[in-house]
Amino acid sequence: MVPFWQGKSVVNVTRESCRAYVTFRARSPGTARRELGVLRAAINHAHRSGRLARVVAVDLPDSPEARDRWLTRKEAAALLRSALREPRVRLHLPLFILLGLYTGQRKEAILSLRWPQVDLIAGRVDFNSPDSRRSNKRRAHQPIPRRLLAHLRRARLRGTDLGFVVHENGKRLGDIKRGFASACNRAKLGEVTPHVLRHTCATWLMQRGVPLWETAGYLKMTQETLQRVYGHHHPDFLKGAAEAFS
């Protein structure tokens, strides 16, 4: 944001300047909206800290349509096979994919997960790290699905008491985008990012008819977001309206 906003005062933040910034960036509306959201947060913080006498409105572009890309069971299996065939990532990337598919948690929550947060006896995992600051991106404390539990027990044999669950030679992974993208290319999967694993988990739960409140609690997602983005996958979606014609 610096090349556009540097040298300007808060009074220069207007609807016209925000729209000019969107044009200047020449990126997707979602990207410009996210960046202007950071600007708005900074202005609000300055106001709460007493450095601004009033809040200045930041005009944001309209929210883009939610992506509906998710993996079928066949695609998920192809992605796992592709990850297993690459020697460099075969010890950590398949486990990352399984955690994403079965827990629906975000990439950062999975990469920062340590073994003390995983109870293999009770079969529960808490993605909230004891020393991390709580944010709006909430993390779940959930039961471990039986299929995932078997993989975690095997992975525990390669881990250390305080180490990371997904690691490379005992070290935390800074990111997993490159290895994940390579696995997607080998599996011939387009438009798939690590976040698609969260979409997939939510979609599968909806398709299986899991109640909205239970799915929302499992994913640590609001029911409103779940209904809006994934509700049409549920077998009961608008069923009452359709059956009214019977």
pLDDT in tens, 195-221: 999 999 999 999 999 999 999 999 999
CATH class held by domain 73-231: mainly alpha
pLDDT tens, per residue, the chain with 246 residues: 999 999 999 999 999 999 999 999 998 888 899 999 999 999 999 999 999 999 999 999 988 776 789 999 999 999 999 999 999 999 999 999 999 999 999 999 999 999 999 999 999 999 998 766 655 667 889 999 999 999 999 999 999 999 999 999 999 999 999 999 999 999 999 999 999 999 999 999 999 999 999 999 999 999 999 999 999 999 998 888 888 887
Using alpha carbons, list the distances in angstroms from residue 235 to 45, 104, 124, 200: 44, 20, 28, 16
**In the chain, where are the structural domains located?**
2-48, 73-231
pTM of the model: 0.79
